[in-house]
Amino acid sequence: MMRKILLTAVMAGLAFSNTAGAQSNDYPNRPIRIIVPFAAGGNTDVVARVTAQYLTQSLGQTVIVENKAGAGGMIATEYVAKAAPDGYTLLMSSTGPHTISPSLMAKINYDPVKDLAPVSNVSSNALVLLVNPSVPATSVKELIALAKAQPGKLSFGSAGIGGTTHLSAEMFKSMAGVNILHVPYKGGAPATAAALAGEVAITFANLSDALPQMKAGKLRALAVTSAARQPQAPDLPTIAEAGLPGYQCIVWNGLVAPGGTPADIVNKLSAAVQKITRTPAFQEKMTQIGSVPIGDTPEQFRTFVAKELVTWNKVVKDSGAKAN
């Protein structure tokens, strides 16, 4: 399945330029729906609602948000992949269902390259590497040294098998050459609680969610997973600069349309997203929820997704992760 997806990605740009269909002269002339693949209240949902608010103003047509949670985001992703390619049903996609599930799952009912047309990557947010204060490590290098000195004795908690909080740690283990025990929990909050209680030594959590524990000194933050330092914690180094060059893991939220959506409609939507992500008001909203606005072109987003598919395919294979 993964090999087929990666081969499809090579041809996706050419196919996109040849797409035929309705013109965008009168688009949009009715409300647009953004489907969110997770429950209300999470980061993807909030990004979608902020985006919908500003797109409504930019496009002069109502943009509404609809949540279709389930199966790690795959239910909503399949729904949009099979929707009419007319620009009126969009998906606020994210790392898990778009670029991890194709490698993690034995079977999925959509091709993330062929069945989903990139519009624009809206935002990203970093994870943060946290340890319980009892862990005798105050830096990434010290944590790696500790793990090498005690192979298999340290443990990390995640929000569940196959998610970014799990696979970001597996990437860390692989690149650092350390053996740390994985303890999956049913969500990010329980995993963080386990680290707070000392049930696990380490966890990777969304930076915005972890900030209260970090500021209170209840968990020790060692580094962020992004390529650059984050504005919410500018003094916190990246894992790459703190000891693992080349390490990068972000959680992204991007707008996609059903495959086959006419190029002029996709381009019009993308231009609107790029415009709103550059406004100070939108950027302030993203900062408040711990996200960094992006707003790229369909071609840039497509290239990014292709790279993410390769990255997570390797991490899943190296870790031996299997879906529940």
- Residue 22 has what pLDDT? 46
Q: Region 227-244: what's the mean pLDDT? A: 94
Q: Region 31-49: what's the mean pLDDT? A: 94
- In this structure, the answer to whether residues 121 and 6 fall within a common structural domain is yes
Q: How far apart are CA 155 and CA 183, in angstroms?
A: 7
Q: Residue 158 has which token pair?
A: 């995640």
Residue 324 falls within a domain, yes or no?
no
Q: Which residue, of 207, 242, 277, is where some domain finishes?
A: 242
Average pLDDT score over the chain:
92
- In this structure, the answer to whether residues 149 and 161 fall within a common structural domain is yes
Q: What are phi and psi of 50, to 5 degrees?
A: -65, -45
Residue 236 falls within a domain, yes or no?
yes
Residue 15 falls within a domain, yes or no?
yes
Whether 20 has a pLDDT exceeding 50, the answer reads no
Q: What is the pLDDT of residues 67-84, one digit of tens each?
A: 999 998 999 999 999 999
- In this structure, the answer to whether residues 86 and 32 fall within a common structural domain is yes
- In this structure, the answer to whether residues 6 and 121 fall within a common structural domain is yes
Neighbours of 119 (CB within 10 A): 29
Kindly report which listed range (9-23, 38-52, 151-165, 196-210) carries the lowest average pLDDT score: 9-23
Residue 21 — pLDDT band, cuts 50, 70, 90? very low
CATH of the domain at 17: 3.40.190.150
- In this structure, the answer to whether residues 175 and 287 fall within a common structural domain is no
Residue 223 — pLDDT band, cuts 50, 70, 90? very high
Residue 28 falls within a domain, yes or no?
yes
Domain that holds residue 153: 126-242
- In this structure, the answer to whether residues 133 and 116 fall within a common structural domain is no
Q: Are 290 and 232 in contact (CB under 8 A)?
A: yes
- Residue 6 has what pLDDT? 54
Please report the sign of the dihedral spanned by the C-alpha atoms of residue 17, residue 22, residue 23, residue 27: negative
Kindly report which listed range (93-97, 158-162, 279-283) carries the lowest average pLDDT score: 158-162
Whole-prediction pTM: 0.86
- In this structure, the answer to whether residues 76 and 108 fall within a common structural domain is yes
Residue 169 falls within a domain, yes or no?
yes
- In this structure, the answer to whether residues 107 and 54 fall within a common structural domain is yes
- In this structure, the answer to whether residues 286 and 150 fall within a common structural domain is no
- Residue 322 has what pLDDT? 81
CATH of the domain at 170: 3.40.190.10
Encode the chain in three state secondary structure: CHHHHHHHHHHHHHHHHCCCCCCCCCCCCCCEEEEECCCCCCHHHHHHHHHHHHHHHHHCCCEEEEECCCHHHHHHHHHHHCCCCCCCEEEEEEHHHHHHHHHHCCCCCCCCCCCEEEEEEEEEEEEEEEECCCCCCCCHHHHHHHHHHCCCCCEEEECCCCCHHHHHHHHHHHHHCCCCEEEECCCHHHHHHHHHHCCCCEEEEEHHHHHHHHHCCCCEEEEECCCCCCCCCCCCCEHHHHCCCCCCCEEEEEEEEECCCCHHHHHHHHHHHHHHHCCHHHHHHHHHCCCEECCCCHHHHHHHHHHHHHHHHHHHHHHCCCCC
- Residue 214 has what pLDDT? 94
Which residue is listed with tokens 């990004």?
47
Q: How far apart are CA 30 and CA 62, in angstroms?
A: 7
CB contact set of 238 (below 8 Å; sequence gap of 6+):
223, 224, 225, 226, 227, 228, 229, 247, 248
- In this structure, the answer to whether residues 120 and 131 fall within a common structural domain is no
Whether 244 has a pLDDT exceeding 50, the answer reads yes
Residue 8 — pLDDT band, cuts 50, 70, 90? low
- Residue 19 has what pLDDT? 43
Share of the chain above pLDDT 90, in %: 81
Q: Which residue, of 214, 242, 270, is where some domain finishes?
A: 242
Residue 247 falls within a domain, yes or no?
no
Q: What is the pLDDT of residues 102-122, one digit of tens each?
A: 999 989 999 999 999 999 999
Q: Region 177-183: what's the mean pLDDT? A: 96
- In this structure, the answer to whether residues 13 and 116 fall within a common structural domain is yes
- Residue 17 has what pLDDT? 44
- In this structure, the answer to whether residues 110 and 256 fall within a common structural domain is yes
Residue 73 falls within a domain, yes or no?
yes
Q: What is the pLDDT of residues 259-268, one digit of tens each?
A: 999 999 999 9
Q: How many domains does the chain have?
A: 2
